[in-house]
Amino acid sequence: MPVCLLVIKKDREIYQSKIEFFTGIMHEIRTPLTLILAPLENVMKSSGTVKDVLPQLQVIERNGKRLLTLVNQLMDFRKAESGGMNVILAETNIKTLLMNVYQRFQLSADIKHIKISLTMPEESCYARVDQEAFTKVVSNLLSNALKFTDTCIWIDLLIVGDKKLEVRVRDNGQGIDVKEQEKIFSPFYQVPDKASSGRIGTGVGLSLVKKLVDLMHGGLNLESELGVGSTFIVSFDRLEHKEGQVVEQVSSQDIQAEDKADIPEGQYRVLIVDDNQDLREYLHQLLSVRYQVSCAENGKEAWDSILQNMPDLVVSDVMMPVMDGIQLCRNIKQNLSTSHIPVILLTAKAASEDYVEGLESGADVYLEKPFSGDVINAQIASIFRNREGMKKDFKTKPMVSSVSISKLDTLLMDKISKIIEKRMTDSDFTVDVLAQEVGISRSGLFAKIKAISGMTPNDYIRLIRLKKAAYLLAEEEVSSSEACFRVGFSSPSYFAKCFQAQFGIAPAEFRRKGGKD
């Protein structure tokens, strides 16, 4: 056959594979969508209790997670195909990872009435793998087995000759014809309908498995016989385990929801920025239970609102028209009036370079969609709790010297503190003079100091004087009276009273303890 005809034939095969791929994707999406929308319609019509509709809600949740898995798989496939997927290899307990995946798939197997078993040796089984990539490999193999078998799946971890570890995922499904086996790991390839008993897949999972195993320098093989079943074999070099070398990795979505009981209701103002009306309304409903919530549709509208209303925290989507979340975050962090405002960015982009861009823009937290309501609530509560803790420590601990978080705020507060220290004994020194020397308006100074420290400028000036006195008492071991006069107090008794009220310890006792409050 002429070369040009071979090229045409190959192009047609690729084209047909892509058509089948998109057909498979449509099928994969339509089924869970049906199992979300149909039960949801019933729930909305129902007048029963939560207990009555719980089974239907569980179906909705399960199929929502199924859609998420499919989307994540497609994104991983795209990254792998474009060479944009990276792995971090570390000595890892393979038995622990396998047990986690096995437990996660037990419910899916039970629902389909498929028996799934896991067998592992007693000996330690360690290998250099990327934990997330390894989990995706085994998960895809199990998903594939669940799709093409009706009764049993076996997961076996084997030690081969002391030097190798093998993970075998075996099913008793239809099996794969020998002619098809060499194509099974190709992108977009799907087993013909006859061999798959009419079950349709995406043609992505096994191709992704192959690429991930290659990235981790492992081996991947298939043993299959028609009418008997298939066994996928993943192999890695076995390591002799040494204590202290296992790297634990935690996903941002594994954050545990913290207790929010200590966050006063209605005290903080949160601005939500998203061009999707449904998501805005969901976040508004979720967060307004505890916070004063306002909304904006894009970064430009949000920026105008921030300058006018000064919220305590901003939750923003990344991809938006007019002004995106990255630029909004930069505006907030680079403007002296707003640099103290914490920002949580929400994104559908999961690549590491996107995380880097978000964090470089100054974002305090970068959350990947879809996110849990508990997680975003916990993140917000954690930010407020940490900042309140910093303010409290700064006020009550004599030797804590900073309350700022952002670089711009640190520079500003350092400048303010140096001006106060320089003018401590100046009886003409006032808030107006301080504002003039800092180079901002009196109202701007008041707002900034209040936002960062929780104090008025007058209270802040007095605190800096008392902290300087604490330094003199502890480091230079001056007397209480000398410290009093050197920081601008005219009455030793009043100084002692202020010191005691601020730090919970008398100046003389603080000096005796060498500054250990």
> Does 197 reside within a domain?
yes
How high is the pLDDT of residue 303? 96
**For residue range 472-493, what is the model confidence (pLDDT) as tens digits?**
988 888 899 999 999 989 889 9
Query: Last residue of a domain, which of 27, 47, 81?
Result: 81
Asked if residues 196 and 174 have their Cβ atoms less than 8 Å apart, the reply is: yes
**Token pair 């790297």 is at which residue?**
247
pLDDT score, position 348? 73
pLDDT, tens digit (0-9, with 9 covering 90-100), for 48-104: 777 778 888 887 887 787 777 767 766 666 666 656 567 788 899 999 999 988 988
Mean pLDDT in residue range 278-293:
90
pLDDT of 257: 40
Question: Which pLDDT score, from 0 to 100, does residue 302 have?
Answer: 96
Flag whether pLDDT at 259 surpasses 70. Answer: no
Cβ–Cβ < 8 Å for 343, 329: yes
Q: Is there a single domain that holds both residue 362 and residue 259? A: yes
Mean pLDDT of 457-469: 91
Domain annotation covers residue 59: yes
Domain limits for position 381: 255-392
Sign of the CA dihedral running 152, 155, 159, 161: positive
Q: What is the mean pLDDT of the chain?
A: 81
| Residues 52 and 137 grouped into a single domain | no
99 & 233 share domain: yes
Same structural domain, 37 and 120: no
Confidence of residue 115 (pLDDT cuts 50, 70, 90): very high
DSSP single-letter state for residue 252: G
Which of 1-10, 314-323, 408-417 is predicted least confidently?
A: 1-10
Bridge partners (DSSP) listed for residue 36: none
Q: Does residue 119 belong to any structural domain of this protein?
A: yes
pLDDT at 76: 66
If asked whether residues 174 and 150 sit together in one domain, one would say yes
Domain termination residue (choose one: 332, 359, 392): 392
Instruction: Please provide the DSSP assignment of 341-363 as one string.
Output: S-EEEEES---HHHHHHHHHTT-
Instruction: Provide the b/e sequence for 262-271 (b: ≥16 CB within 10 Å).
Output: ebeeeebebb
189-203 pLDDT tens trace: 555 544 444 444 444
Among 403, 464, 462, 411, which Cα is nearest to 440's? 411
CA 141 to chain centre: 26
Residue 350 scores a pLDDT above 70: no
Confidence category of residue 244, pLDDT binned at 50, 70, 90: very low
Q: For residue 155, tell me if it sits in a domain.
A: yes
Long-range contacts at 461-464 (CB < 8 A, ≥ 24 apart): 461/420, 461/429, 461/431, 461/434, 462/498, 463/394, 463/395, 463/502, 464/417, 464/420, 464/421
Can you tell me the mean pLDDT for 32-40?
A: 76
Picking from 183, 208, 237, the residue at the C-terminal end of a domain is 237
Are 226 and 142 found together in one domain? yes
Claim to verify: residue 76 and residue 94 sit in the same structural domain: no
Q: pLDDT by residue (tens digit) across 395-437?
A: 888 877 777 777 888 888 889 999 998 888 887 888 999 999 9
Least confident of 116-120, 170-174, 256-260: 256-260
Give me the pLDDT at residue 118, please.
94
**Backbone region of residue 22 per phi and psi (left: phi > 0; alpha: psi in -120 to 50; beta: other values):** alpha
Looking at the structure of the chain, the number of domains it has is 4
Q: Would you state the pLDDT for residue 158?
A: 95
pLDDT: is 380 or 264 the higher one? 380
Helix (H) or strand (E) holding 77: helix 50-81
Q: Note whether residue 265 is domain-resident.
A: yes
CATH number, domain of 379, equals 3.40.50.2300
Q: Within a domain: residue 248?
A: no
Q: What is the per-residue pLDDT for 192?
A: 54
Residue 18 has a pLDDT of: 56
Output the domain CATH number for residue 49: 1.10.287.130
Q: Which two tokens stand for residue 311?
A: 């919220």
Residue 457 main-chain phi, psi, to 5 deg: -55, -40
| % the chain with pLDDT above 70 | 79
Instruction: Give the integer Cα–Cα distance in Å for 391 and 393.
Output: 6
- Ranked by mean pLDDT, the top range of 4-13, 261-270, 432-441 is 432-441
218 and 116, same structural domain? Answer: yes
pLDDT confidence of residue 337: 87
Are 210 and 304 found together in one domain? no
User: Does 4 reside within a domain?
Assistant: no
**Do 435 and 313 sit in the same domain of this protein?**
no
Average pLDDT, stretch 278-287?
A: 89
Pick from 353, 356, 364: which is nearest to 329 by CA?
364
What is the widest separation between alpha-carbon atoms in the chain? 105
- Contact (CB, 8 A) for 116 and 109: yes
Token output for 425: 């004994």
Q: Are residues 285 and 261 in the same domain?
A: yes
pLDDT at 446 over 80: yes
Residue 202's pLDDT is 47
- What local confidence, expressed as pLDDT, does residue 255 receive? 37
Could you tell me the CATH number of the domain that includes residue 403?
1.10.10.60
In a domain, 2, yes or no: no
- Residue 300 — very low, low, confident or very high, per pLDDT cuts 50/70/90? very high
Residue 285 shares a structural domain with residue 231: no
CATH code of the domain covering residue 174: 3.30.565.10
Q: In degrees, to the nearest 5, what angle opens at C-alpha 17 toward C-alphas 11 and 21?
A: 145
